[in-house]
Structure 1
Amino acid sequence: MLRALLYFFAVSYVFGILPSASAVTTQNLSSVANLNPSSQLTSPEAFLGYPLGKWHLRHDQINYYLQQLANESDRLSIEKSGLSYEERQQLTAVITSKSNQANLKKILAQRKEVKSGKKQDGPLIIWLAYSIHGDEASGAHAALALSYQLASSNDPWIKQLLDEAIVLITPTQNPDGFDRFSNWTNNYRGQVEVSDPRHKEHKQNWPTGRTNHYFADLNRDWLFLRHPESRGRVALFHKWQPHYVGDFHEMNSNGSYFFQPGVPDRTHPLTPKKNQVLTEKLAQFHRQALDKKQQEYFSRQIFDDYFYGKGSTYPDINGSIGVLFEQSSTKGQALMTENGKLRLSDAIDNHLTTSISSLKGSLALKDDLLDYQSQFYKGRAKAAIKGRQSGYLIGSQANTGRIADIANLFNQHQITFYYLTESVAQGDKEFSAASSLFIPLHQPQKDLLLAIFDQRNEFADPTFYDVSSWNLEHAYDLDMVRNAKLDLDVLSSTAPDSHEFEADSQAVALLINWQQDGAAFVLQQLLENKIQVKFAASPFTVKIDSVEHNFPAGSLQIPLKQANVSSDKITAKIARLMAMTPLDIATVNSSASVAGIDLGSPDFHSIKPVKPLIVTGYGIDESEAGEIWYYLDTKLGVPVTLADTSHLSKIPLSGYTHIFLPGGRYSSLNETLTRKLGQFASQGGIVIAQKGALSWLNKGNLLKANLKESRFFKLLFDSSDLTFDEKEKLSARQAIGGAILELTLDISHPLSFGIPNARLPILKNKALGLEDSSTPFSVAAKYAKQPLLSGYLAKEYQRSLSQSPAILVESRGKGAVVVLADNLMFRNIWLGSEKIYANALYFIPALH
């Protein structure tokens, strides 16, 4: 009888007759057990047909459930904030009382006045945002349980909350990555629970669900706004201007639970001290809630509050209180950890607990939060600008596209700026009306403006969870005057008119200055249409309408007499392209130059079509591969092949012109493949390799230059007299979390074409350097004599890197290897140095 009973239970479990032990129901979640839900609304369990947490949810299930609640409840409406790359809609539940729901237009009109600094008397705005990293899925599940409870509960404190506050709940901030992860872990979940960390359910494929479609970490994109998910999220933030933002994540599986405040000494100096005081007051509510359920936790360690490009810190520089929550991760249903078995249901319940403590804490501190936000903006939006103004003046030589990009960024962050109505001089710099902006310091978004252009090299604690500097002056490689003073009569809120393209019937060619960011896109589209384009190997000057115009090396020439296409088709195509990107194109009626090479010179080289391949897969840095893909795909329009490391040996490389090797670990690739890459280069192919890929090339003898790697640099640090408790400080000094360094360019090298100065700022985040090359003419750039521009970099690194190579081009047979010690496309915000990649694509094949 006992054997039969055991058999029944086993079969029942396998075939789903009995619920899984890891399944979560609204009723058994300890955080919401006493919230008295109404039975009139559809619960997550009833909607799904199984207990919440039995399977990892998909994004569409979450959206449909929010819509279901919105149809059933007069407390809940839906806010849309745009589509992801894969066209998944991002939804936010707006939950408040029936009367507030009927009054949302008026409330939103009040929220538009927040940056005026006036005293607030409207409702409290609380935003709880989850799962911006798609494989940190417990938050999204908790968001559904919380949405149901707030929409249905008759508990007195819930009714008070909804009368006095509006709660915004965004379950998934990274729809594409979220579904990538959910599908993976569900695919490998069996009927019998497997908590072995080695099981595929807990070991994601490449790329992981952490990142979005282009493998970008969206929780590093709040400032830069390179991706649509981020743009929609920041628009939502400024529309509602929340008082409190809860940012829910997962951390390593062997942790407990974290909530801010973070490490006190690692809070950005621009964050008001009152912000941290309120964060600590809110933390008391989280402590009480977690203590009640006997859940261990910690604060004031590991995580900081420094980089404003994250979800918990962006609010801090925008008049809100942002709080980070980190739950140890199961990466599946159940996982054996150092602390025992951890279940998805535990993770969901913990996030639900601190979601509720966030609501209770915010409600209790309502007056403090309203007053804090008003004080943050008080006095910053006085009358319209009058007379002489002080602020930042920025410009980019002959590059309207770059100025258009940063102007768009300012608009999204609601930073006030002005265009110039005429060229102005400040100090020894000239700023043209076409490619300059003035940003007044006296404005509501002053603190955010200061943060975006923050320039500091001294730090009390040199430990950084992310980068130590992100100064957009350097990222965009701008000319900048920080203490500019301009009169009102040279400022305008309207962008200058763009030049209309009109080709002269007598024209022999069109010329494009390669310094313009839009030039590479136009070049690629012309090549796709089989239109011949040439580039200049050296500078030249031509006369246009009796005025001399200088064109630097790299400038493009489009001859209007071509064998396979008429001049009318060429000019029509150019006109269409100019409508898509800011660009100046010159028309010339003679091949003769005033100085330098003539247009018919052999130093104008025809550009060949490109067919690049990016190596992807296990060991490859997701972000770096994604940044290259994003640039080639979205900014140039290049058809690009992504090839997994496991497939490379089977791919005939002769069908490609360029092989990109992003940073990462290439230890899984064998010597056969290095020989294959060597043959590819010898036969005319271009290999573009950066950071970790260089170690593999060096070991396979594809790289002649010797490397300085982490072991080399660690020997530079004296640790002989340090005590044990100074070990962490030494590790912090040895880390390169992300500092901005200056390179000195060989401006005659084709890799430097289109970069207006002999100096180039780059972001360095890896202990890697190159020794002086014995190969002649191979060094395209060196680290400057005093390389540090902004952020933290230990003196030992600064001395060792000083005037050592940073970018090399090594010839190999008919082809070449482009060697990059750093990622010059960091998070796709480093517009100043991304030109290096375009030069490697289009110019190096002809001039290596």
Structure 2
Amino acid sequence: MNKDFTLLNSLKRVTAFLLFMLSANLFAQVSDSYYLPSNISYNSKIPTPQQYLGFQVGEWHIQHEQLLGYLKKVAEVSDRVKIEEYGRTYENRQLLLLTISSPKNLANIEQIKTQHHQLTEPDKSAGLDTRNMPSVVWMGYSVHGNEPSGTNASLLAVYYLAAAQGPEIDSILNETVILVDPRINPDGGERFSGWVNANRGMNLVSDPNNRELNEAWPGGRTNHYWFDLNRDWLYTQHPESKGRIKKYHEWKPNILTDHHEMGSSSSFFFQPGIPTRTHPLTPKKNFELTEKFGKFQAAGLDKIGSLYFTKEGYDDFYYGKGSTFPDVQGTIGILFEQASSRGHLQESANGNITFPFTIRNQFVATLSTLRASKSMRQELLDYQRNFYQEKSTDAVKAYVFGNSNDKVKVWEMVNILRQHEISVYDLAKDESYDGKSFKKGMSFIVPLNQAQHRLIRGIFEKRTVFEDSLFYDISAWSMPHCFNVPYAEVKTPFTTGDKLTKNDFPKGKIIGGKSSYGYVFEWDSYFAPRTAYELQKKGYRLKVATEPFTGVVENGLHNFDYGTIEIAFGANQQVNFDQLHTLLQTLAERDGVDFYAVQTGLTPNGIDLGSSYFSTMKMPKALMLTGTGVNSNDAGEIWHLLDTRVNLPVTMADIQQVNRINLDKYTTLILSSGEYAALNEDKIRRWVQAGGVLIAMTDAVEWVTTKGLSPAKIKALPGDTASSPKPYALAERYKGAQQIGGAIFQVKLDPTHPLGYGYKENTLSVFRDNRIFLEKIKDPYNAPLIYTGDPLVSGYITSQNLKLLKNSPSVVATSLGAGKVIVMTDNPNFRAFWYGTNKLFLNALFFGSQILGGIRGGEED
């Protein structure tokens, strides 16, 4: 009995040991020595990431709270690290910036920051002695949430900088201020890490078909509203970007690194990238310094035997990207792209790629950057000083803008300019440039004789000639055209008014006091749709003027245009006039809308307020298709617009769900760019015929036209029909050049059409990033937006594509039974900063049912 019991216990111990060893082997990960430099000691008071987390870096994908906890712990115990919150994401996650340097530098960090910023101020920088100034390095990790090696490498970077001992680290800390942004996109990062951790097994699976390596739609790349934050550095429409850019301009670092991932079968990329695709406003010296940095990166990766490439695949053209935005600020922006494991282990053309391997490469690139910044310290400081001391030699001396019927868009333009330390001035008096009038008090002027003259040109200029025909991102982003705000180039001597020191929101007001008859407001303000929806939500009946009229208002007459909104009372609606007046005061201040009190329905000119040409507005109830096949970026732009700027809830459902549900409760169905082959055509047709409004944009136009829901027809694209043979090596380049990666074009707009309500001009700049060209349609009233005969405003397009685009419809709006189908070839909501065309989409939502209505004149509403 005792022998058996002893034997049983022995077997249990052996089994437990074997299970432990098996478990250890299954979860075996690298040791600290795999990542960290050898032959140096580390401060034992600083916990390693493994000691704090309970697992090694790369064993699991770190969750955001774990990341925050470790970084805060290091800051607590280290005299080399300070930590601060610079913002919160949409999902209320903390955004942290760590400042790391020697204890002596940290004790004087505000003085160092002030002095460093003076390098960018020409009137102060000449007297600075750069021989003893520290350089400033900004390390930015994982702006794309599903590119996690950067964020996980930031743990090692912070540990190394806080704990490493010896002359080399002391020298780096004494001569450098390091700013670490460990996770630029926490919401997307959390979405991704949750997915891969939840789908990881004890035995790692490298098969690319494995669920772990194929995250669910929309994936973790983007932020809460599915925006690519790496395209938001310039126009900063999201809280992550607003907070980060504020800290960036406080410091104006010498170097900014941007850590990304790319396809699993690649290797490692570092800049300078493709020389011919560098923006012309970026100094050549920037490219040379970036090349010099590359030698340090090569040395670091050579040491560990990692493959890499440079001067191919990526460019530095669009100033809204993290690695390019710094280049027009006197900073050296450096992009790192690491082949991704997309989970913990994945097969690739270069063998199995492990998560720890990807992290190590990012960490090595970090250390190489620090060594380069130390070695090139004074050269970088002097370069930045010289960058800002150089004066503009451009023929354009200033840009003037404003005098818009929408003060809100002008206000937002000023906000963006001032956040980038660009000086904006009032006009000293009314001016006229390029045949356009600009009134004092409604317009602003931005001189180029200021430190940020390169950035100003990058924001305002139009460019149609390029050294290269391929672009990694968009080729045009001219702000006045994005915002549809009148502007002009000033090439003659000018005077300015006062420099703006604040930019108050342009509040609206109630004109004419209280009314017991009704109120009207114009559709001009950017936030007019938000006002309208708020009133509808509270039960007020709204009507839209489909003809212009002159109203009797306080102090005289006022001409009201197409799209003016009437808050209709009528005999059957009980109204608390005091309560309504209070609500309108609130909305006027919040939304920048002016309300006009009317005391009579009789008008001197045009339609009377009781006319049937005032058409009742339906309260929008929108359904947007989402899920697999749908472009999440485009869908996110719509969600963001409606949710954050209109306060209008939008139902989002996947295609298969839409095929099952009852659509009768919705007024509008939205198809953003995507593939809709699985959508039930007959169901959608019946719903539209019964009175629904279908809005289809960009790629979705193909589904709508193919199914015959719209009479619009897409032009066939001609192929490469050259008679003589061409080199095989040029095939990819030719095909790439045919794409419209993102450019600005001009359309003729019909302001009398419901989709044109709120616009005063008959031309409009639109953004295009596709090759969907429509044939002319037979009915001349159904195309409210048509490309002009000379449509290119800014950006790249081939002559072949330009020919297809000229005089073609941009928007077609037609009836189908009792419903409407609106197709838009372009994206009116691009990246949240295309304010100028947001109104087109919102008009389709609010006024879509008004299009092509029957003959009016006493018919029932």
TM-score surpassing 0.5? yes
Q: Which one is further off, 483-492 or 724-733?
A: 483-492
Summarize deviations over 1:8-39 as a string: whole Å, max 9, x none: 7873366x444624x3442221x533442222
The aligned amino acid for 1:26 is: D
> Which deviates more, 440-449 or 325-334?
440-449
Which whole-Å CA distance do the structure 2 matches of 1:527 and 1:434 have between them? 33
Counterpart position of 1:456: 463
Q: Residue 171 of structure 2: which of 129, 142, 160 is its match?
A: 160
Q: Residue 761 in 1 paired to residue 752 in 2?
A: no
How far apart in 2 are the matches of 1:150 and 1:644?
Answer: 46
User: In 2 relative to 1, CA 270–379 (structure 1 residues): closer, same or farther, beyond 3 Å?
Assistant: closer
- Please say if 1:642 is aligned against 2:652: yes
- What is the match of residue 698 of structure 2? 691
Give the TM-score normalised by structure 2. Answer: 0.93
- Residue type of the partner of 2:78? S
Q: Distance in 2 between matches of 1:717 and 1:171?
A: 50
SS in 2 for 1:707: coil
Give the Cα separation in 2 of the matches to 1:652 and 1:568. Answer: 40
2:56 is equivalent to residue 51 of structure 1? yes
Match of 1:474 in 2: 481
Q: Could you list the per-position Cα deviations for residues 393-425 of structure 1 after superposition, in whole angstroms to 9, with x for gaps in the alignment?
A: 111522110111111111211111023465433
Task: Give, in angstroms, the shift of residue 182 of structure 1.
Answer: 0.3
3-state SS of the aligned residue for 2:802?
helix
AA aligned to 2:789 is K
Which amino acid in the other structure matches residue 620 of structure 2?
A: V
The equivalent of 2:858 in structure 1 is none
Q: 2:610 aligns with which of 589, 600, 622?
A: 600
Q: Equivalents in 1 of 2:43, 2:568: separation in Å?
A: 74
Within the candidate set 648, 652, 657, 2:662 is matched to: 652
Within the candidate set 831, 834, 837, 1:833 is matched to: 837
Query: How many corresponding residue pairs?
Result: 830
- Letter aligned with residue 242 of structure 1: P
Please report how far the alpha carbon of residue 733 of structure 1 lies from its aligned counterpart in structure 2 after TM superposition: 2.3
User: In the alignment, does 2:686 pair up with 1:679?
Assistant: yes
2:8 corresponds in structure 1 to: none
Query: Where does the alignment leave 5 or more consecutive residues of structure 2 unmatched?
Result: 1-10, 853-861
1:713 shift after superposition: 2.1
| Change in 2 beyond 3 A, CA 1:490/1:96 | closer
Native 8 Å contact 1:397 1:756 kept in 2: no
Which of 792, 797, 808 lines up with 1:793 in the alignment?
797
Tell me the amino acid that sits aligned with residue 19 of structure 2. V
Q: Partner of 1:654: helix, strand, or coil?
A: coil
Q: Which segments of 5 or more consecutive residues in structure 1 lack a partner in the other structure?
A: 382-388
Note if 1:220 corresponds to 2:231.
Answer: yes
Give me the whole-angstrom Cα distance separating, in 2, the residues matched to 1:694 and 1:239.
Answer: 45
C-alpha contact 2:514 2:581 (8 A) present in aligned 1: no
Shift of 1:549: 2.4
Partner of 2:784 in structure 1?
A: 780
1:746 Cα deviation (Å)? 2.6
- SS at 1:394's partner residue? strand
What letter is aligned with 2:98? A
Answering whether residue 272 of structure 2 is matched by residue 282 of structure 1, we say no
Cα RMSD for the two superposed structures: 2.2
From 246, 252, 260, the equivalent of 1:241 is: 252
What amino acid sits opposite 1:40 in the alignment? K
* SS of match in other structure, 1:292: helix
When residues 798 and 593 of structure 1 are mapped into structure 2, their CA distance, relative to the original with a 3 A threshold, is: same
Kindly state the Cα deviation for residue 5 of structure 1 after the two structures are TM-superposed: 13
Q: Determine whether 1:93 maps to 2:98.
A: yes
1:810 to 810, 814, 822: 814
Would you identify which runs of 4 or more consecutive aligned residues in structure 1 move more than 4 Å?
A: 3-10, 489-500
Residues 717, 428 of structure 1: alpha-carbon distance in 2 compared, 3 angstrom cutoff:
farther
Residues 102-122 of structure 1 deviation map (CA, whole Å, 9 limit, x = unaligned): 111212222342321303453
Counterparts of residues 564-579 of structure 1 (less than 5 Å): 564-579=574-589
Once the two structures are aligned, what percentage of the paired residues are identical?
35
2-structure distance, mates of 1:507, 1:426: 45
**Aligned counterpart, 1:501:** 510
- The aligned counterpart of 1:401 is 408
Name whichever of 217-226 and 528-537 sits farther off.
528-537
Name the CA distance, whole Å, in 2 between partners of 1:701 and 1:838: 24
Cα distance in 2 between the residues matched to 1:573 and 1:431? 33
Letter in 1 for 2:95: Q
Residues 414-453 of structure 1 mapped to structure 2, 5 A cutoff: 414-420=421-427, 423-453=430-460
Equivalent in the alignment of 2:639: 629
Instruction: Show CA shifts across 1:654-713 (max 9, x none).
Output: 11111110101223x15xx111111111111111111111222233332332212xxx32
Task: Say if 1:216 and 1:623, in contact at 8 Å, map to a contact too.
Answer: yes
Q: How does 1:353-392 map to 2 (within 5 A)?
A: 353-378=364-389, 390-392=397-399
CA distance in 2 between partners of 1:181 and 1:719 (Å): 49
- CA 1:143–1:505 in structure 2 vs 1: closer, same or farther (change >3 Å)? closer
Partner amino acid for 1:430? S
Whether contact under 8 Å (1:418, 1:493) holds in the other structure is no
Partner of 2:596: 586
Alpha-carbon contact 2:254-2:330 (below 8 Å) kept: yes
Shift of 1:480: 0.9
Q: Does 1:820 align with 2:824?
A: yes
2:508, 2:591 within 8 Å by CA — same for their partners in 1? no
Deviation per CA, 1:142-178, whole angstroms, max 9, x where unpaired?
1001100110011311111111111111110001000
Deviations 1:201-232 (A, max 9, x none): 00010111000000000000101111110111
468-477 vs 364-373, which moves further:
468-477
CA deviation map 1:618-644 (0-9, x unaligned): 110011000001111111110111111
Question: 1:386: which partner in 2?
Answer: none
Q: What is aligned with 1:513?
A: 522
**2:332 corresponding residue in structure 1:** 321
1:25·1:45 contact (CA, 8 Å) conserved in 2? no
Find the counterpart in structure 2 of residue 384 from structure 1: none
In structure 1, the residue matched to 2:20 is 12
Q: Report the alpha carbon displacement of residue 535 of structure 1 after superposing the two structures with TM.
A: 1.1
Superposed, 1:70-109 pairs within 5 Å as 70-109=75-114
CA distance in 1, matches of 2:83, 2:285: 33
Measured after TM superposition, the shift of residue 100 of structure 1 is 1.1
Could you tell me how far 1:426 is from its partner in structure 2?
2.9
Distance apart, 1:724 and its partner CA: 2.2
1:128 is aligned to 139
Mean CA deviation greater in 402-411 or 361-370: 402-411
Distance in 2 separating the partners of 1:468 and 1:100: 42
Alpha-carbon distance between aligned partners in 2 of 1:336 and 1:499, rounded to the nearest angstrom: 60
Compute the displacement of 1:351 (Å): 0.4
- Residue identity in the other structure for 2:336: F
Letter of the 1:531 counterpart? Y
- Residue 208 of structure 1 is matched in structure 2 by 219
Task: Describe the shift of the 1:565–1:165 C-alpha distance in structure 2 as closer, same or farther (beyond 3 A).
Answer: same
Helix, strand or coil at the partner of 1:649: helix
CA contact (8 A) 1:116 1:379 kept: no
- Asked if residue 488 in structure 1 is aligned to residue 496 in structure 2, the reply is yes
CA distance in 2, matches of 1:323, 1:719: 43
Q: Identify the residue that residue 26 of structure 1 maps to in structure 2.
A: 32
SS of the equivalent of 1:93 reads strand
Larger displacement relative to structure 2 (339-348 or 432-441): 432-441
Distance 1:34 1:247, change over 3 A: farther
